[in-house]
Each structure stands twice: as structure tokens, then as C-alpha cells.
Amino acid sequence: MSEAVISPVRIGRLSIGALGVLALALGTLQSVVEPALPLLQRELGVSPAEGALVANTLLVTGAVITPVAGKLGDRYGGKRVLIRLMAVVSAGGLLAGLAPDLPVLLLGQVLQGVMVGALPLSFILVREHLPSGESQVAIGVVVALFTGGGMVGTAVAGPIAEGLSWHWMFALPTLAIIAATLVVTRLMPHDPPIHADSRIDWPGVVLLSGTLLTFMVGLVTVTSAGLEPGEVGAVAVVVAALATGWVVVERRAASPMVDLRMLAKPAMWNACVLTFFITISSGMVLLMLPQLFAVSADGGYGFGADTTDIGLFLLPGAVAGALSDSVGGVAARRFGPRAVVVAGGVITATTMIALAALHTEAWQLVLAKVLTAFAAGVATTALLAGTATAVEARDTGIATGLLVVTRVIGVALGAQIGGAILAAGADSATGRPTESAFGTGFAVAGVVAAMSLLVVRITKKGAQA
């Protein structure tokens, strides 16, 4: 019997567990680079800017491939595409584990970057084989384990790299991914592909990928090397032109990559806008807190923490973020995504505005990280789970893929804004950010979080009208 005629069947805890373990292993592989960047720079003999390429390459690839993977999963079946995607990730992880130099390591990171596409593919399988309420909870569990993998990778990267070698910090998670993929292949039933007479909208795929690639490369360049105003304007023009071309192509395509009518639905575009504002604030916090921990206390602020101490300070926030992802699906089912977003926005805005005035004790920063990580995780996961069950089943992959990309872009943009604020407020003599720059950055992050409340208010009035 062919896969096309297999009827969907209900999946059990073992299948969900297998997806969760796979997400955990993927999150671990994704996060091992950041804490080990100084070591990689020494071992490979590269500059900090070249070392940053290792982390940024994965980010760019993930943003570009995710909506494409989601669309292919909708069309050909989530399990089929997921298994093929994991083969690419595994090849990238093994290549990075054997890499003799930076170019080979970067190639491995390019291949590993497609792992972000595993999330919408997992959501397709969950949506296909579980009732709506249970699927929201399961989506939260998968996202939580992916985030939890990030904690594992951050914690084990240093010991593995120093005890064995940096090659093993890529190889060991990759072996876990291979094993988990084999279990998923065995336990997860096939989801039937969608029968369609028309071909894949490849012009739409190319234009959307080009738009995201240009935007992310431009964003990474601005963050790492800086661009002149004219160059920034040129990048913006190219992105706008590609995006406009994509919209024109999608409106005329017989079977568009993204149904623009789906994007016009309130559940979809509201979720994208809200996710964008929430993750911008999260990205600012993600960049500024470690910077403040690292600043020397000689100037009357800062804590002079080293890499190990910073990791310990941020660990409670990482745990809170993982827990919040698992709670987000449950909260969306019980209270609805809108109520969860309001609660998360209030907590984040209040916390960041308070932190702008009170940031002289380490516990204040640790508590702020815990609160904002939990609030943002609950809100974005609730939006993701709500959207996954609000759109048509055939659009689950592309809809959630676009939301995942929105999260990536929001965090990256927030980090850039935070970095720009700190750079603008740097002391001319020492070159380090002043205390007032941190205060301004925290206040701006709070205002951005509060804007999500305004978006909720406006969209609520529109819905009532």
C-alpha cells in the first residue's frame, strides 16, 4: 500500500516522545557553538569576526529553509520531509565534527542550519494525528524540548571541547540525532501527502528565500561589521523589491507557495505581528544582560563576570524559558493565545522598565531574565500552538514555518537594536557602554513589549467591528 492512501492514525506517547528527543538533540547541536566561540577562534586561528560567522551561518540558513521545509511537508507529508531533512543535518554535524579548518566547519553549519525546519514538520505530524486540544499541548512539549536542548548544549559544550576536543561537541549531538531519527522513522505513522495537480510554486520559493536571505545577511552584516547608511538603504531596497516580486508571483500562481488569503486571516497575521514585537524585546534582553554582567565593576556598575559565571547567572532564565514553552501550549488551550500574550506583555514590560532603574545587584538581573524568558516563551508558544490549529490542516507547515522565521528575525533584530543602543552610549575614553546606555536599552525593550499590548487592543477592536 502506498503512503498516499494510508489513513491518518492516532499517535501515542512513544511517538511524541521520539519527536521530543529529536528536538532535544537538535537544540543541543544548535547551541554548542556560542559558549565555545573563543575556543574555536584559538583552535582555528581565526578572528572574532570570522568566528562569529560560525553562529550566524546557521541562523541565516535556518531562516531561509524553514518556510520551504514547511511547505514541502504540507505537500509531500511531514514525516517524509523530516527524515530527509535530518539526513542533511546529520551530514552537516558529521562534517563539522571532522572539519580541519574554518571553511569546512562553515559548510557543516550551513547544512546543520536546516534543522530549524524540523519544528514546523513536527507540528504537521502532531496536527495530523492528534485532536486540536492535545496537539496544542504536544506542540508546546516539542518546542520546550528544543529550547531545553539549548540549555544542554550550552552546559556541555565547554566540558566536551576541553575534555575531548571541539570536534566531539558536534559529533555527539549528531549521533543522538541519527538515533532519534531512526526511532521516529520506526514509530511515527506516515501522514498522507496532499494530492495536487499543479506543481510546486518554485518562483515563489526562490523569491521568498531570496528575500529572507538578503534580509538576514544584511542584518548579520550590520550587527558584525557595520554598514554605511547608503549600503543599509540599498539592502532595504533589494529586500523590498524581492518581497514585492514575491507577492506579485503568489497572487498569480495557480498553487502559490503561501496562500496570501491565509496570511490575511486575523489568526495568522496577528500571530506574526505579536511574535515579532515579543521576540524583538527578547533579543534585546538576550544581548544586553550578558554585556552588563561582563562589564567591570570599577565604574560603579557591572559585575566583571567571566564566561562561566555569566553562564551560571543566565541558567535560571534558560530553565524558565524551557518550562514556559511546555506551559505555552497548555495555556493556549485553556485561556486562548490572546490572554496569554497580554499576560506575557504585561510581565515583560513591567520587568524591563523596572530593570532600567534597578540593575545594581546580580539577583535583579537574574530575576529579570527568568521573568522575561518565561513570559516571552509562554506567549510565543501559545501563538504558535494557536495558529497551528487555527489554519487549514494543509497549511500547518507553512503557517508555523513563517511564525518560526518571524521568531528568528525578531530575536536577531532585537539583538541589533540592543547593540546599537549600547554602542551609541559607549564611553569615549574606555569604549565600554555607560550605565545610562543599559538603562535606556532596558527601557526601550519594555516599551517594545508594551507595544504588543497595543497590537492586541487594536486587533481586538477590529475583530469586534
Q: Into which CATH architecture does domain 1-193 fall?
A: Up-down Bundle (1.20)
Nearest alpha carbon to residue 449 among 354, 364, 350, 321 = 350
CA 413/CA 223 separation, integer angstroms: 9
- The answer to whether the beta carbons of residues 401 and 70 sit under 8 Å apart is yes
- The answer to whether the beta carbons of residues 143 and 328 sit under 8 Å apart is yes
What is the pLDDT at residue 353?
93
What is the pLDDT at residue 52?
59
What is the pLDDT at residue 311?
67
259-465: CATH, from 1.10.620.20, 3.90.25.10, 2.130.10.10, 1.20.1250.20: 1.20.1250.20
Ranges of residues in the chain whose predicted pLDDT is under 70: 1-13, 34-35, 37-38, 46-53, 55-56, 128-136, 191-200, 220-229, 257-258, 299, 306-308, 311, 325-326, 329, 389-391, 393-397, 459-465
What is the pLDDT at residue 380?
84
The b-or-e profile of 187-200 (16+ CB within 10 A means b, else e) is ebbbbebeeeeeeb
- The answer to whether the beta carbons of residues 69 and 401 sit under 8 Å apart is yes
CA 146/CA 143 separation, integer angstroms: 5
CA 177/CA 185 separation, integer angstroms: 12
- The answer to whether the beta carbons of residues 274 and 384 sit under 8 Å apart is no
What is the pLDDT at residue 292?
84
What is the pLDDT at residue 4?
44
CA 20/CA 238 separation, integer angstroms: 39
What is the pLDDT at residue 269?
78
